[in-house]
């Protein structure tokens, strides 16, 4: 069932620069969560009201708007405390949620893998725990029944204990899955495979680029958080070199801290990359803010030392003549155009040459079988057979520490 929602936001001294775009984003998030935006209420205040976010008069106006639009719920563009939610729900008599809950709901909708589902549940429980007030919150889905209540323990204490136990259990399972993922990453490292990670603001076109480059059948939609679970695919360059391309969850303004913590292992997929492709929606009116959000998160996740190529995508939706890039090195493409994908590949190879170490190898005739391995594991720029000396001369680039750099 599609629920009718009214969006509420307060423009303050702290958020006025990003407020308009943030409200647009909230509407997109609501649609992604399969909600129908039937109204919007905005107020300008120096700071939000500590009790109800909006002022008393606006709260009455919101109540009238809910009745007029027959809304089922209200979504605040601010993180609410349990007390604030209770006060507002009592006044408006419909369900009230905040931006964080909305994002968590979308993540729950998108999670496909066992790890993704566990991470979403952990984030939801982390959000719920400090908001338990013991008033009408049923925790039966987390446990309950015979043997779960201690002597003299209140319902609220029991609920909290259930949540903490469940969180410990999930963390244990995630640790095991993370260890398995680490072993896979270690194998990739040892095999000298060049690894590229796709990062960027949600809905910038990462999955579209992934599909265009690797021909992978990744879920791609014009929606926020279309990709949640990390996906790694093999990609072979025209030269024959095999690499991996990993698509990860998109970033967003005010990404809930619960999600950053819970999705640490997913984001770790991008930690060991040799090159990051930062995909940016070049047509977005809020492009600069989105770029800053991603760069700040990269810094917070200690990933800002990895080489980055900025890929300005969706050039077909913006004017190339007036487009001014702000991050370097970069390339401007449309992932929908095949010729642009070739431009992207050229730009990636240029950056790879800066990351990799050049080599010059001479192989005898009876070592010719090594040519195929060189093509597979290194970036071969050119090779030729010298008929006078009967040797193969190969020039290319390899990963630091590769056996080919010291090959004699």
Residue 53: predicted pLDDT? 96
- Residue 334 is assigned to a ligand binding site: yes
Per-residue pLDDT tens digits for 65-120: 999 999 999 999 999 999 999 999 999 999 999 999 998 888 888 777 788 788 88
Confidence grade of residue 136 (pLDDT, cut at 50, 70, 90): very low
Confidence grade of residue 268 (pLDDT, cut at 50, 70, 90): low
Q: What does the H/E/C string look like for the chain? A: CCEEEEEEEEECCCCCCCHHHHHHHHHHHHHHCCEEEEEEEEEECCCCECCCECCHHHHHHHHHHHHHHCCCEEEECCCCCHHHHHHHHHHHCCEEEEHHHHHHHHHHHHCCCHHHHHHHHHHHHHHHHHHCCCCCCCCHHHCCCCCCCCCCCCHHHHHHHHHHHHHHHHHHHHHHHHHHHHHHHHHHHHCCCEEEEEEEECCCCHHHHHHHHHCCCCCCCCCCCCCCCCEEEEEECCCCCEEEEEECCCECCCCCHHHHHHCHHHHHHHCCCCEEEEEEECCCCCHHHHHHHHHHHHHHCCCCCCCEEEEEECHHHCCCCCCCCCCCCEEECCCCCHHHHHHHHHHHHHHHHHHCEEEEEEEEHHHCCHHHHHHHHCEEEEEEEECCCCEEEEEEEECCCCHHHHCC
Residue 368: predicted pLDDT? 93
- Residue 337 is assigned to a ligand binding site: no
Tokens coding 71: 């809304």
Backbone angle region of 225, left / alpha / beta, with phi > 0 → left and psi within -120 to 50 → alpha? left
Q: Is the pLDDT of residue 62 over 80?
A: yes
Main-chain phi, psi angles of 120, to 5 degrees: -65, -45
- Residue 335 is assigned to a ligand binding site: yes
- Residue 272 is assigned to a ligand binding site: no
Cα 401–Cα 407–Cα 408 angle in degrees, nearest 5: 155
Q: Is the pLDDT of residue 236 over 50?
A: yes
- Residue 211 is assigned to a ligand binding site: no
Q: Is the pLDDT of residue 361 over 80?
A: yes
- Residue 207 is assigned to a ligand binding site: yes
Cα 265–Cα 186–Cα 115 angle in degrees, nearest 5: 30
Residue 185: predicted pLDDT? 73
Q: Is the pLDDT of residue 270 over 50?
A: yes
Residue 230: predicted pLDDT? 67
Asked which of 82-86, 140-144, 215-219, 258-262 is least confident by mean pLDDT, the reply is: 140-144
Confidence grade of residue 269 (pLDDT, cut at 50, 70, 90): low
- Residue 328 is assigned to a ligand binding site: no
Distance CA 358, CA 360 (A): 7
Kindly give, in sequence order, each residue whose CB lies less than 8 Å from that of residue 152, ignoring residues fewer than 6 positions away.
none
The mean pLDDT of the chain is: 86
Q: Is the pLDDT of residue 138 over 50?
A: no
pTM beyond 0.85? no
- Residue 250 is assigned to a ligand binding site: yes
Per-residue pLDDT tens digits for 141-181: 444 443 334 444 567 788 888 999 999 999 999 888 878 87
- Residue 340 is assigned to a ligand binding site: no
- Residue 91 is assigned to a ligand binding site: no
Q: Is the pLDDT of residue 255 over 60?
A: yes
Proportion of the chain above pLDDT 70, given as a percent: 87
Q: Is the pLDDT of residue 214 over 90?
A: no
Tokens coding 259: 């999600």
Residue 44: predicted pLDDT? 96
Residue 37: predicted pLDDT? 97
Q: Is the pLDDT of residue 215 over 90?
A: no
Proportion of the chain above pLDDT 90, given as a percent: 55
- Residue 133 is assigned to a ligand binding site: no
- Residue 293 is assigned to a ligand binding site: no
Average pLDDT value for residue range 292-311: 88
Q: Is the pLDDT of residue 224 over 60?
A: no
Q: Is the pLDDT of residue 257 over 80?
A: no
- Residue 24 is assigned to a ligand binding site: no
Kindly give, in sequence order, each residue whose CB lies less than 8 Å from that of residue 60, ignoring residues fewer than 6 positions away.
none
Confidence grade of residue 41 (pLDDT, cut at 50, 70, 90): very high
Per-residue pLDDT tens digits for 364-380: 999 999 999 999 999 99
Please give the residue that has the higher pLDDT: either 272 or 387: 387
Average pLDDT value for residue range 219-227: 54
Residue 57: predicted pLDDT? 96
- Residue 201 is assigned to a ligand binding site: yes
Per-residue pLDDT tens digits for 19-33: 999 999 999 999 988
Backbone angle region of 214, left / alpha / beta, with phi > 0 → left and psi within -120 to 50 → alpha? alpha
Backbone angle region of 184, left / alpha / beta, with phi > 0 → left and psi within -120 to 50 → alpha? alpha
Q: At what angle do helices 206-214 and 338-355 cross, to 10 degrees?
A: 90
- Residue 313 is assigned to a ligand binding site: yes
- Residue 248 is assigned to a ligand binding site: yes
Q: Is the pLDDT of residue 11 over 90?
A: yes
Residue 93: predicted pLDDT? 94
């Amino acid at each position: 069932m599609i629920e009718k929602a009214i969006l509420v936001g307060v423009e303050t001294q702290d958020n006025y620069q990003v407020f308009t775009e943030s409200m647009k984003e909230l509407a997109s998030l609501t649609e992604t969560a399969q909600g129908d935006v039937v109204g919007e209420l905005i107020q300008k205040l120096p700071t939000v009201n500590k009790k109800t976010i909006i002022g008393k008069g606006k709260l009455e106006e919101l109540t009238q708007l809910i009745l007029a639009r027959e809304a089922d719920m209200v979504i605040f563009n601010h993180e609410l405390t349990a007390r604030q939610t209770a006060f507002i729900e009592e006044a408006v008599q419909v369900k009230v949620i905040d931006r964080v809950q909305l994002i968590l709901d979308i993540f729950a909708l998108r999670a496909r893998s066992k790890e993704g589902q566990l991470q979403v549940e952990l984030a939801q429980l982390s959000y719920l725990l400090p908001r338990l007030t013991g008033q009408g919150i049923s925790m039966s889905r987390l446990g309950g029944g015979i043997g779960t209540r201690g002597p003299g323990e209140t319902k609220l204490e029991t609920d909290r204990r259930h949540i903490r136990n469940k969180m410990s259990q999930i963390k244990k399972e995630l640790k095991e899955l993370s260890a398995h993922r680490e072993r896979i990453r270690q194998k990739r490292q040892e095999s000298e495979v060049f690894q590229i990670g796709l990062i960027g603001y949600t809905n910038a076109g990462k999955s579209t680029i992934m599909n265009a480059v690797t021909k992978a059948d990744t879920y791609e939609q014009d929606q926020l958080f279309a990709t949640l679970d990390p996906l790694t695919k093999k990609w072979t360059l025209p030269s024959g070199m095999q690499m991996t391309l990993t698509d990860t969850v998109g970033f967003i303004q005010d990404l809930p801290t619960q999600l950053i913590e819970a999705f640490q292992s997913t984001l770790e997929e991008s930690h060991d990359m040799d090159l990051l492709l930062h995909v940016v929606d070049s047509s977005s009116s809020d492009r600069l803010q989105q770029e800053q959000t991603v760069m700040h998160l990269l810094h917070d996740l200690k990933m800002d030392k990895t080489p980055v190529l900025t890929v300005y995508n969706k050039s077909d939706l913006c004017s190339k003549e007036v487009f001014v890039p702000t991050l370097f090195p970069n390339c401007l493409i449309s992932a929908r155009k095949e010729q642009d994908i070739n431009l992207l590949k050229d730009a990636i190879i240029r950056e790879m040459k800066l990351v990799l170490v050049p080599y010059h190898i001479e192989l005898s005739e009876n070592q010719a079988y090594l040519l195929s391995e060189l093509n597979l594991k290194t970036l071969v720029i050119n090779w030729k057979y010298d008929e006078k000396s009967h040797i193969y001369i190969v020039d290319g680039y390899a990963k630091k520490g590769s056996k080919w750099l010291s090959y004699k």
